[in-house]
């Protein structure tokens, strides 16, 4: 049974409406938005990463799922594996503490378990938020809707690339890779108007395809409009290869939202000064889930890898068209 | 930082009332009882255990925490690590499915992540229940209360001992080790009257000490009254060594509850035919948290190991007296 089949099996079990077909970033139960993401050493973080940044990141990736549903952070349960390195554990908890305090998330439970010696750490968090008036799913967008992005793309992937060359590297991009910022205010501001919303954790192209498939639409993304930070452009430029890197790198925790064509969130929604908000594409009726244009509107072929399909983080099957 | 210090750090962070000081089996938020327990390969289950039984057990250990709070199962989020063995994953999901269906638990979310090759599996579940009229904590018992136990002890530990001798062994005790049954009906029936309740997952002596410390009491347990199953007695007898084994073995998922002295739950509470319900001890004022008697009321010294302190499963510090 391959990973896609595993997820398909789980989806057949998950028939409760709160599950949203496991096709969403989070479940919705009794007015609470609930998500669980785990991260594994060697897969989602580097053994050399400062443990406080790993703790921060575990909280942030879960809060990004709440942000994508417009929820307000309420509480969390931590699943902590102990590998016998007290200094690491202490630093990790510092990071958990800092992130929980920054975002008003109360740690209310969880467990600690010992691992067999040498086993890589697997760290999990269940984050619980209070739902707003609208909790946009992935699958609610309609043909004609426009796709908007809050945040910038590629910073984290560029930071990881720098670290893989030089584990001691520092700088803005490394910081963004290690300490992503969940766009909670933006998510809460956009959710009432969005027909669909999700966070871009596995790469813009892959996640856009997921939103399009869940909504029964075809998406076209204009790579020229992919928002890049000054730090990213300084590192990798702003040409088409750099934009493709940014659109497939993942680990962004930007928000991807669909709005009716006449709605301009940049005009209609009161947002904190950051993040920037750009229209990056459109949805249409059609069978193929994803088209790319770039270099002034010319068709661009899809790359072989749309994002990080096997990094996991949330049940997010490709084949989830009803 | 040792494990106890890790938990102490976490408890200082967890100041929200829903956290119950992390001294309980579960958190209580907005009328929902929420718990997360993880199990690790080589620590909480054997690599040779049938994967369906591992899936069942993951659900059951979490439901046992809901049972101990008198909650009704509602929903769960699964954290699944994939180690590249599709047949194992398929069997594991069979077990998850069977347990969820048996106990009316809806799978509503979670995540799947890939592990690095060779890494032991770490499997987690967040279980959410609806609270009843009373959600007994560990720390609510008073001097004079009596301690009651629902269920039998030692079956699972005896089953594990059999398997460690012969991995191909079968029988009732092996079945109980692999497929524990959470005492949900008993928990719901007892919770309205209990001053304190918890499940006995790490060994009766260790968990009784935790309840006593959390309640600021001293507990005395009469080993002669430790309830043993016919299968357990057939395997290990009913003498004091067998009773000590049963009282420290852990993995029982029996319920330990405190009631006011005049209250007899065996008379007052309508329970399904199983489990049996026996008074096994008393609580008093006093500094030492735990005394044992046996062999007709004679003092019995505490054994070196009261239970499985490092198997983890739920934040449960020893030093949690306020």
Kindly give, in sequence order, each residue whose CB lies less than 8 Å from that of residue A264, ignoring residues fewer than 6 positions away: none
> Worst-scoring range by mean pLDDT, A100-114, A222-236, B223-237?
A100-114
Q: Give the mean model confidence (pLDDT) for residues B315-320.
A: 34
**Predicted pLDDT of residue A123:** 95
Is 80 exceeded by the pLDDT of residue A223? Answer: yes
Alpha carbon distance A45, A35 (integer Å): 20
Residue A171 makes CB contacts below 8 A (sequence gap 6+) with A159, A162, A231
pLDDT of residue B230: 95
Q: Which residue has the tokens 């180690």?
A: B83
Looking at the complex, report in whole angstroms how far the Cα of residue B157 sits from the nearest Cα belonging to chain A: 19
Instruction: List the single range of A47-51, A161-165, B251-255, B267-271 with lowest mean pLDDT.
Output: B267-271
Mean pLDDT of B171-194: 94
Query: Would the pLDDT of A178 be above 60?
Result: yes
Q: What is the pLDDT of residue A157?
A: 94
Kindly state the helix (H) or strand (E) to which residue A52 belongs, with its residue range. helix A51-68
Measured in degrees and rounded to the nearest 5, phi and psi for residue A72 equal -100, 125
A179 contacts A99 by C-beta, under 8 angstroms? no
Q: pLDDT value at position B273?
A: 63
Report the percent of chain A where pLDDT is more than 70: 94
DSSP alpha helices (H): ranges in B69-194?
86-103, 155-165, 172-178, 184-190
What does pLDDT average to over chain B? 90
Phi-psi region for residue A108, left (φ > 0), alpha (ψ -120 to 50) or beta?
alpha
Terminal alpha carbon distance of chain B: 21
Alpha helices in B104-167 (DSSP H): 155-165
Q: Quick one: pLDDT at residue A319?
A: 31
CATH class of B3-130: alpha beta
Q: Of all residues in chain B, what percent carry a pLDDT higher than 70?
A: 94
The CA distance from B286 to B141, in Å, is 13
Nearest CA in chain A to B118: A119
Picking from A83, A89, A100, A109 by the largest number of B CB atoms within 10 A of its own CB, the best residue to mutate is A109
Closest residue on chain B to A122 (Cα): B122
Residue B231's pLDDT is 97
Question: What pTM was computed for the model?
Answer: 0.89
DSSP string, A71-95: PEEEEEEEEEEE-S-HHHHHHHHHH
Q: What is the mean pLDDT of residues A134-148?
A: 96
Concatenating the DSSP letter of every residue in A240-279 gives HHHHHHHHH-----EEEEEE-TT--HHHHS---SPSPEEE
> Does B26 contact A109 at a Cβ distance shorter than 8 Å?
yes
Hey, is the C-beta of A118 within 8 angstroms of any chain B C-beta? no
Reference B10, options A109, A59, A54; nearest CA is A109
Closest CA to A320 of A221, A212, A220, A203: A212
User: Is the pLDDT score of A320 beyond 60?
Assistant: no
CA pair distance B244, A309, nearest whole angstrom = 51
Window 281-310 of B, Cβ < 8 Å to A? 310
Cβ(A179)–Cβ(A96) below 8 Å:
no
Q: Where are the domains of chain B?
A: 3-130, 146-311
Compute the distance between CA of residue B79 and CA of residue B198 in angstroms, rounded to an integer: 24
Note the pLDDT of residue A12: 86
The mean-pLDDT minimum among A39-43, A267-271, B47-51 falls in A267-271
Q: Inform me whether the pLDDT recorded for A313 exceeds 70.
A: no
pLDDT of residue A35: 96
Using pLDDT thresholds of 50, 70 and 90, give the confidence band for residue A62.
Answer: very high
C-alpha distance from A109 to closest chain B C-alpha (Å)? 6
Q: What is the pLDDT of residue A140?
A: 95
8 A C-beta contact, residue B40 and residue B72? no
Confidence band, pLDDT 50/70/90 cuts, at residue A273: low
In the structure, what pLDDT confidence band is assigned to residue A274 with cuts at 50, 70 and 90? Answer: low
b/e sequence A255-286, b meaning 16+ C-beta within 10 Å: bbbbbeeebebeeebebeeebebbbbbbbeee
- Residues A289 and A62: their CA atoms lie apart, in Å, by 27
Q: Which fold has domain A146-311?
A: Phosphoribosyl-aminoimidazole Synthetase; Chain A, domain 2 (3.90.650)
Q: Decide: B40 and B79 in contact? Cβ < 8 Å.
A: no
Tokens (6 digits) for A12: 């057949």
| HSE of A145, CA atoms in CB hemisphere, 13 A | 25
Q: Does A123 touch chain B (CB under 8 A)?
A: no
Nearest to A93 among B10, B87, B96 (CB): B10
Of B43, B86, B110, the CB nearest to A36: B110
Q: Concatenate the DSSP letters of all residues of A202-219 into one string.
A: S-HHHHHHHHHHHHT-EE
Q: What is the pLDDT of residues B84-125, one digit of tens each?
A: 888 999 999 999 999 999 999 999 998 888 888 888 999 999
Residues A142-149 have a mean pLDDT of: 97
Q: How far is B294 from chain A (nearest CA, A)?
A: 33
What's the pLDDT at A215?
A: 94
% of chain B surpassing 90 pLDDT: 71
B299 has pLDDT over 90? yes
Where do we find the tokens 């908007």? A148
- Please report the residues numbered 20 through 59 in chain B whose beta carbons come closer than 8 angstroms to any beta carbon of chain A: 20, 22, 24, 26-27, 29-32, 34-44
The predicted model gives B5-17 an average pLDDT of 86
A10 touches chain B (CB under 8 A): yes
Q: Buried b / exposed e across A193-212, counting CB within 10 Å, b at 16+?
A: bbbbbbbbbbbbbbbbbbbb
pLDDT the model gives residue B309 = 64
pLDDT-wise least confident of A186-195, B116-125, B278-287: B116-125
Highest mean pLDDT among A4-13, A33-42, B219-228: B219-228
**pLDDT band of B158, cuts 50, 70, 90:** very high
pLDDT at residue number A271:
76
CA distance B302 to B292: 7
Contact of A12 with A93, CB cutoff 8 Å:
no
Query: What pLDDT does A309 receive?
Result: 64
- The verdict on A266 touching B (C-beta cutoff 8 Å) is no
- Region of residue A204 (left: phi > 0; alpha: psi -120 to 50; beta: else): alpha
Question: Which residues, in sequence order, are CB contacts of B48 under 8 Å at separation 6+?
Answer: B163, B167
Tallying the residues shown for chain A, one arrives at 322
Q: B76, B123 in Cβ contact below 8 A?
A: no
* Token pair for B35: 């718990």
Please report the beta strands in chain B, taking only residues with DSSP state E, as ranges in sequence order. 27-29, 32-40, 72-82, 106-114, 122-130, 146-150, 196-200, 218-222, 254-259, 277-284, 290-294, 298-300
Confidence category of residue A300, pLDDT binned at 50, 70, 90: very high
Specify the pairing of strand A146-150 against strand A254-259. Answer: antiparallel
pLDDT reading at A209 higher than 70:
yes
Query: Is the pLDDT confidence value at B314 over 80?
Result: no
User: Cα–Cα distance between A63 and A51 in angstroms, integer?
Assistant: 19
**CA distances to A280, A297, B114, B320 from A144, in Å:** 13, 18, 36, 58
Asked if pLDDT for residue A219 goes beyond 50, the answer is yes
Residues B229-252, mean pLDDT to the nearest whole number: 95
Whether B111 and chain A come into contact, CB under 8 Å, resolves to yes
Looking at chain A from residue 182 to 241, which residues have their Cβ under 8 Å from any Cβ of chain B? none
**What is the pLDDT averaged over residues B60-64?**
96
The three-class DSSP label of residue B297 is coil
Could you give the C-alpha distances from A30 to A129, A197, B27, in angstroms and in order? 11, 20, 16
Q: Does B316 score more than 70 pLDDT? A: no
- Our CA-based measurement puts residue B214 at a distance from the nearest CA of chain A, in whole angstroms, of 16
Cβ–Cβ below 8 Å for A114 and B10: no
- Measured between beta carbons, the chain B residues lying within 8 angstroms of A64 are none
CA A222 to chain B, closest CA, distance in angstroms equals: 30
Q: What is the mean pLDDT of residues A152-166?
A: 94
A267-271 contacts at long range (C-beta below 8 A, 24 or more positions apart): A268/A193, A269/A189, A269/A190, A269/A193, A270/A189, A271/A150, A271/A185, A271/A186, A271/A189
Give the per-residue pLDDT at B45: 87
pLDDT of residue B274: 63
pLDDT at A136: 96
**Residue A92 forms contact with B (CB below 8 Å):** no
Which residue from A124, A116, A126 is spatially nearest to A83, judged by alpha carbons? A116
Q: What is the pLDDT of residue B135?
A: 96
């Amino acid at each position: 049974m391959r990973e896609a089949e595993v997820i398909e099996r789980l989806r057949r079990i998950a028939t409760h409406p709160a599950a949203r077909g496991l096709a969403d970033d989070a479940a919705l139960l009794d007015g609470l938005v609930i998500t669980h993401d785990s991260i594994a050493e060697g897969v989602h973080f580097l053994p050399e990463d400062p443990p406080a940044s790993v703790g921060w990141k575990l909280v942030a990736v879960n809060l990004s799922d709440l942000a994508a549903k417009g929820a307000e952070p309420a509480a969390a349960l931590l699943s902590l594996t102990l590998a016998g390195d007290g200094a690491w554990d202490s630093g990790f908890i510092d990071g958990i503490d800092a992130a929980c305090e920054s975002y008003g998330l109360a740690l209310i439970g969880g467990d600690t378990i010992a691992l067999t010696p040498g086993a890589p750490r697997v760290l999990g968090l269940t984050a619980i938020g209070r739902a707003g008036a609208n909790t946009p799913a992935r699958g609610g967008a309609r043909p004609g809707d426009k796709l908007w992005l809050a945040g910038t793309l590629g910073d984290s992937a560029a930071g990881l690339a720098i670290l893989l060359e030089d584990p001691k590297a520092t700088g803005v991009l490394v910081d963004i890779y290690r300490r992503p910022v969940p766009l909670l205010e933006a998510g809460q501001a956009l959710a009432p108007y969005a027909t669909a919303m999700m966070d871009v954790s596995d790469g813009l192209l892959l996640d856009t395809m997921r939103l399009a498939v869940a909504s029964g639409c075809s998406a076209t993304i204009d790579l020229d409009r992919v928002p890049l930070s000054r730090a990213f452009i300084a590192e990798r430029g702003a040409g088409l290869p750099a934009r493709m890197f940014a659109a497939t790198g993942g680990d962004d925790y930007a928000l991807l939202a669909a709005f009716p064509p006449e709605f301009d969130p940049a005009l209609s929604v009161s947002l904190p000064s950051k993040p920037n908000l750009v229209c990056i594409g459109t949805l249409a009726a059609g069978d193929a889930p994803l088209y790319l244009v770039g270099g002034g509107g010319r068709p661009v072929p899809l790359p072989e890898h749309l994002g990080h399909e096997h990094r996991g983080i949330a049940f997010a099957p490709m084949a989830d068209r009803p």
